[in-house]
Structure 1
Amino acid sequence: MTVYLDASATTPVDKRVADLVMRYLTEEFGNAGSRTHEIGHAAQTAVARARRQVAQVVHCTDDEVIFTSGATEANNIALLGLASEGERTGKRHIVSTAIEHKAVLEPLQRLASSGFEVDLVKPDPSGRVSAEQIAAKVRPDTLVVSMMAANNETGVIQPVPQLCRLLKDEPPYLHIDAAQAFGKIVPELQHHRIDLISASGHKIFAPKGVGALIARKRGFRRPPLTPLLVGGGQERGLRPGTLPVALIAGLGLASELALTEHADRQASCAAYRQEVLRGLAPLHPQVHGAAEHTMAHVLNLSLPGLDSEAVMVAWRGLLAVSNGSACTSASYEPSHVLTAMALPQDQVRSALRLSWTHMTESVDWQEAVARVRDLITA
């Protein structure tokens, strides 16, 4: 049996979540916009409950949760949705980082092509971006600062609390892409200074196709986002369309479970990390990213002298791992994240990402090592 070690790409759906989703797909299938009968009211109630469950993870109010199809859509709404405000106020400067997911970098490229100036701060060799360097880039005409909470390739946690403190008295909006971090690193995302947070359900054992944008109010004013789609008033006019009640209910329950089971999940993932490191020790792996700043369930490493594609083929049927972001895995381009970290190109080419969950099965590491050694002697 293949052991799944690609949880940063997607997680399995928790059975408790799957059971709830099926209930709203097959039994309580009403439209949350139907206000005239009890079946529609039941759907409304499910959405309201989920909104509250998501809000509790980041300490925001229920009405600050906007349901989306995932973090990619949330990132697009957060960044492209601020463009009109930037044009209205003359604030056409944006600060972000060179290690963001393409779901942030590509909207920023679109903004740059329409006249916005984008500054991308590079990380240090450990994969961490300096909060001080980001804050130093902020100018009077800066519209938004956007930084991921944790990197999708290395698992390195970025200094969100430090950035919040540095930006305390500055006017730019702060957007955090928390696709990899929502429900996994909790206090860091609860800071009131964060204006916008993007989250994705399928990273926390909910179904694919659902996520959320947290849009915190400053005082009584919401972030001035312009909707990217029109055609309905759902989600405070920011995301029109019939709400996928079953998926939203699943996201809500998954969020609640992530919060209540957080400590146990973290401990389990940290213990598993030590198993992985012990198992691969005979191959002398080069780990990318300082352990003290890396999420417990992610390990990015290179095996000296070995191409990542060859290793993945050798492990086929034993381990399912990746060599980068699932969203760009078809391109086989060198990782822009590891390149920005200024790692040697041989390490970039040989990098593997192993990521697991609190439910991941044990691995026959002797077999895994033997298969890789066969590559060396072939």
Structure 2
Amino acid sequence: MSRFVYADNAATTPITEPVLRAMMPYLTECYGNPSSMYSKGREAKRALELARESIAEWIGARPGELYFTAGGSESDNWALKGIARELALQGKKHLITTCFEHHAVLHAAQALEREGFSVTYLPVHENGLVRPEEVANAIREDTALVSVMYANNEIGTIQPIAEIGAICRERGVIFHTDAVQAVGTLPIDVAEQNIDLLSLSGHKLHAPKGIGALYVRRGITIQNLVDGGAQERGRRAGTENIAAIVGLAAALRDACSTMKERAERLCALRDRLIEGALQIPGSSLNGDAQHRLPGNVNLCLEGVDGEAMLLLLDRQGICASSGSACTAGSLEASHVLLAIGIPPELAKSSLRLTLGDQNTEEDVEYILSVLPAVIERLRTS
């Protein structure tokens, strides 16, 4: 192995030194339970609320609208199930989502269908974008919730969230967005964009795994998903993970304060990688070329087995994926690629390369020096 290149930042990211430094006191001396009344507990409680204030500010929310969870999947499940079950009491048992959401949303929607709810799965067009007018046309009198992801975790396409939010607000329908891939990378203002609920996760932006949050706009009633103690103002039981929450706040502050510069640098690396990769015969880019996350490159490479390609890249020190890390090991073609009209066999030849803050021009050139030979070997073997 001549070089190591981590190009799977959509799957997870390493904790940075500043984030780790912010967390360390709460893993050692500041170990109190924030629900305890003595000084160690009050110390932890102060850290918890300062982190809540900081995170809320970066997404345009009030601190009291933010609830900490164990990650994006829990936040998505809570948003869909909590709203659906609450509004079912008013006779609203219809939900709208898209067919290329993260499985945390899709499987939550399917679970609700088994409870008797009706779900409309909107199509996604070949460029990987949802059309706001199709959302509007799908809304019914009994629609409780619309859930559309902010940016796709596989092909990186960024959805017209503000337009969809405006439609939902005008029609009196609650709007949720899974913003796990977008928070810290794209500017977000939940008030301006008419977002009622938003899911986020720490480990996509250099915070630890196992920490996330759900924004719930003030005035919205949502049923609990996790019952038990009175933590998170009685909405989500379980002793708060103070170190991880502090780490999330530090990571989001670092990401948002340098967002413009980071995006410009990653877009340049991304575009160079796309340009070089498309020189390989039989290669094609998945998703819209413009409306996509700064570090996302998703390709199909005709005549190649995706799993074999990943193994050969790994031997050359390149960490990549063929889709969502949550479905790794599945022999099925990506549901995201199928949703945008990619034939199943071609979809199984997909390669996702997602660049992050640690990647360099040299990393990109190394990938481009290795990839053609890997593809040629697989096509001739």
In structure 1, C-alpha distance between the alignment counterparts of 2:371 and 2:353, rounded to whole Å: 13
CA change 1:367–1:85 in 2 (3 A) is: closer
* Distance apart, 1:279 and its partner CA: 3.6
Q: Percent same amino acid among aligned pairs?
A: 37
Cross-structure match for 1:315 = 313
CA distance in 2, matches of 1:299, 1:192: 26
Letter in 2 for 1:343: I
Where does 1:129-208 land on structure 2 (aligned, <5 Å)? Answer: 129-187=130-188, 189-191=190-192, 193-208=194-209
Contact residue 57 and residue 190 of structure 1 kept, 8 A = no
Letter in 2 for 1:15: E
The alpha carbon displacement at 1:188 in A equals 6.0
Following TM superposition, by how much is the alpha carbon of 1:2 offset from its aligned partner in structure 2, in angstroms? 2.4
Between the aligned partners of 1:54 and 1:347, the Cα distance in structure 2 is 41
2:371 aligned partner, one-letter code: A
Q: Specify which of 5, 22, 25 is matched with residue 24 of structure 2.
A: 22
* 1:58-78 alpha-carbon deviations (Å, 9 max, x no partner): 101011110000111111111
Deviations 1:304-341 (A, max 9, x none): 22221221122123211101111111222111111111
Between 308-317 and 127-136, report the one with greater CA deviation. 308-317
1:23 Cα deviation (Å)? 2.0
- The alpha carbon displacement at 1:239 in A equals 0.9
Distance 1:277 1:192 in 2: 30
| Aligned residue identity for 1:339 | L
> Structure 1 residues 5, 215: CA separation in 2 closer, same or farther (over 3 Å shift)?
same
Letter in 2 for 1:323: S
Give the deviation of 1:167 after TM superposition.
Answer: 2.3
Alignment check: 8 A CA contact 2:61 2:189 kept? no
Confirm or deny that 1:257 pairs with 2:254: yes
Native 8 Å contact 2:150 2:178 kept in 1: yes
Task: Give the match for residue 375 of structure 2.
Answer: 372
User: Normalised by the size of structure 1, how large is the TM-score?
Assistant: 0.95
CA contact (8 A) 1:64 1:215 kept: yes
Distance 1:165 1:84 in 2: 24
In the other structure, the counterpart of 2:299 is: 301
Mean Cα deviation higher: 275-284 or 334-343: 275-284
Matched position secondary structure for 1:374: helix
- Distance, in Å, in 1 between the alignment partners of 2:189 and 2:324 is 23
1:234 aligns with 2:225: no
Deviates more, 1:232-241 or 1:303-312: 303-312
| Change beyond 3 A, Cα 1:4–1:189 | farther
**Which residue identity does 1:96 align to in structure 2?**
T
Q: Is the 8 A contact 2:60 2:189 kept in 1?
A: no
Residue equivalent to 1:211: 212
- Unpaired runs of 5+ in structure 1? none
Taking the aligned partners of 2:62 and 2:153, their CA distance within structure 1 comes to 27
- What is the alpha-carbon distance in structure 1 between the residues aligned to residue 41 and residue 195 of structure 2? 34
Partner of 2:48: 47
How far 1:227 sits from its partner (Å)?
0.9
Distance across 1 between alignment mates of 2:65 and 2:234: 13
1:205 shift after superposition: 0.6
**Separation in 1 of the partners of 2:191 and 2:346?**
35
Question: Are 2:203 and 2:209, in contact at CA under 8 Å, matched by a contact in 1?
Answer: yes
Classify the secondary structure of the residue corresponding to 2:148. strand
What SS is found at the alignment partner of 1:366? helix
Would the aligned equivalents of 2:161 and 2:193 in 1 still touch at CA under 8 Å?
no
Decide which moves more: 63-72 or 263-272: 263-272
Q: Offset of 1:229 from its aligned partner?
A: 2.0
Residue deviations 1:129-182, cap 9 Å, x none?
Answer: 111101111111110011100111100111101112222321111111111111
**AA partner of residue 143 (structure 1):** A
Q: Could you list the per-position Cα deviations for residues 330-357 of structure 1 after superposition, in whole angstroms to 9, with x for gaps in the alignment?
A: 2221111111111123321111111010
Q: Which runs of 5+ in 2 are unaligned?
A: none
Determine whether 1:339 maps to 2:328.
Answer: no
User: Does the CA-based 8 Å contact 2:278-2:284 persist in structure 1?
Assistant: no
Question: 1:147, 1:176 within 8 Å by CA — same for their partners in 2?
Answer: yes
Distance in 2 (CA, whole Å) between partners of 1:36 and 1:263 is 43
Q: Distance in 1 between matches of 2:195 and 2:321?
A: 31
What is the aligned partner in structure 2 of residue 330 from structure 1? 329
CA shift at 1:190, angstroms? 5.0
Partner of 1:290: 288
For the pair 1:124 / 2:125, whether they are aligned, the reply is yes
Query: Offset at 1:197?
Result: 0.3
Aligned partner of residue 144 in structure 2, secondary structure: strand
CA contact 1:314–1:372 (8 Å) conserved in 2:
no
Q: Secondary structure at the match of 2:298?
A: strand
Normalization by structure 2: what TM-score?
A: 0.94
Retained in 1: the 8 A contact 2:6–2:318? yes
